[in-house]
Amino acid sequence: MEIKAILGNIYEIECDALVAGMFEGEKPEEGLLAEIDNRTGGVIASLVETGEFTGKSAESAYIHNPGGMKARRLLLLGAGKQEEFNTDSVRKMAGTAARTMRGKKARSFAFVHPPAWAASAELPIGESAQAATEGALLSLFDPDKYHTSDKTENHLETMILAASNGDADALKSGVERGRIIAEAANFARDVINEPSNVMTPTELARKAGETAKSYGLELEVLEEAHMKDLGMGSLLGVAQGSAEPAKLIVLRYTPKAASDETIAIVGKGVTFDTGGISIKASDGMEKMKYDMAGGATTIAAMRAIAQLKPAVNVLGVVPAVENMPGGRAQRPGDVVRSMSGKTIEVINTDAEGRLILCDAISYARKLGATKIVDLATLTGAVSVALGDVYVAILGNNQEWIDEVIAASKRAGEKLWQLPLTSEYREQIKSEIADIKNVGGRKAGTITAAYFLREFVDDVPWAHLDIAGTAWNENGKPHLAVGPTGVCVRTLVSLVCG
Ligand code: BES
Ligand code: ZN
Ligand code: ZN
């Protein structure tokens, strides 16, 4: 879908629908709403009077042949509470608009750009254009790739961001940036959505290779023999139960002007997690295809970074393995030696994410990372703590954590910090080795992060546990069920500002 910005008379725009927002409890007495109400012979006033439309967020009203405008329909969307309105509201409204209009078989719609009517929110026009673009493009993703019939039809060709005036350049660059980021997130969702018989570690490496080629990134894929030479016994221990060979995927972005700083993004790429010998219950196990969401998100973020060209070196490191209970699988009680030299007692083979990430983190450090952010569908416990609403963030450096949180706020994603103090180290002490890979029932998200911390040492590091947020169980008006692409936006905002 093309996204155009048009500055001028919004009623003159020829399209299938004009989409306008209304705050909760607002009356069409002034501004844009009053104007639309007048032109349509009081349609909004009557919807408000009957209580049919109140302006609550996610509410909508669809008016046929409204008159007073060239658009054939009028779609009114609830904008929620005026005092809570922000760029993320714009993202969600544009998403609801695009999904709704796609459902109506529309080809085009004009989204009245919120800075034109929500003056009190003081939305910068470029940021708002970016958010609207992201919202619309993200909303049109659907996970039905393998449907051979009843596929979601999409006739949408154009979304017009309509306003009577504004800075045309800011609008244009906001739309461009929004498109780059949303297309990257949708790429991540596509990769995450693939079943595990397709998306093997080898295939994930191939995807990374395609990305590198298309967007001008450097690619290195380490094979098992190379990882063995580097001493990555922890990662290889997880891979040994599978017939699929492990890959360590490294994407590298280098800016034009040399920079001292290298940000490493490290993403868990378990293409299927059976649990290994500590096998999972079969109910819902099919979902474990999304255990590579962190890895896909890393590749997607690198794709957007390559296009936005920040002034810092960036590494994307994805340890890709399949966790299977084959005849050569590692056993509970096995002791493995990680690349760092630290020995690990594998108590539970289902706590495999941390076992591959620790070696990937060591490799990122070897490549010169000065700051690390890792992301992983690491623990079921994060859903117990934060549900499917917040991503958990933990780390060893408050400044860096705060930077990541600030980036998430700019990007409209939700992060919540959990503590990571030394009391939790007790839970992962091992009798036989330096550390063990599980810390018991309590504080599962924290002990998993603590395990990783032991391999990071003093490099500023933040860890994002996306197990609760990477998959959306219930569709929303602005978002399909399935992979969410969570954190692509945060990572891009972190690296590119
Ligand atoms: N991949 C899972 C975590 C997960 C759970 C992701 C639910 C998405 C949804 C991870 O490898 C795992 O199995 N973690 C265990 C750790 C436990 C054995 C300490 C868990 O959370 O149960
Ligand atoms: Zn597991
Ligand atoms: Zn896992």
pLDDT tens digits, residue range 115-139?
A: 889 888 889 999 999 999 999 999 9
Atom of ligand 1 nearest to the CA of 470: 8
pLDDT grade, residue 234 (50/70/90)?
very high
Specify whether the CB–CB gap between 111 and 3 falls below 8 A: no
58 pLDDT higher than 90? no
pLDDT in tens, 236-289: 999 999 999 999 999 999 999 999 999 999 999 999 999 999 999 999 999 999
Pocket test for ligand 1, best of 234, 268, 292, 378 (most atoms within 8 A of CB): 378
Q: Residues 19-28: what's their mean pLDDT?
A: 95
Q: How far is the CA of 376 from the centre of ligand 3 (A)?
A: 8
Question: Cβ(82)–Cβ(120) under 8 Å?
Answer: yes
| CA 469 – ligand 2 centroid, Å | 16
Q: Which of 350, 388, 446 to mutate to test the pocket of ligand 1 (most atoms within 8 A of CB)?
A: 350
pLDDT of 223: 98
**pLDDT tens profile 198-207:** 999 999 999 9
Residues labelled as active-site residues: 280, 354
Q: Name the pLDDT band for 213 (thresholds 50, 70, 90).
A: very high
Across the chain, what does the average pLDDT equal? 97
Closest C-alpha residue for ligand 1 atom 22: 380
Q: Are 73 and 64 in contact (CB under 8 A)?
A: yes
Q: Which residues line ligand 1 (CB under 6 A)?
A: 273, 291, 348, 350-353, 377-381, 438, 444, 467
pLDDT attached to residue 352: 99
Q: Quick one: pLDDT at residue 119? A: 84
> Residue with structure tokens 């630290």?
342
pLDDT above 90 (res 156): yes
Contacts of 495 (CB under 8 A, 6+ apart): 263, 265, 301, 305, 310, 312, 314
pLDDT at 451 exceeding the cut of 90: yes
| pLDDT tens digits, 344-395 | 999 999 999 999 999 999 999 999 999 999 999 999 999 999 999 999 999 9
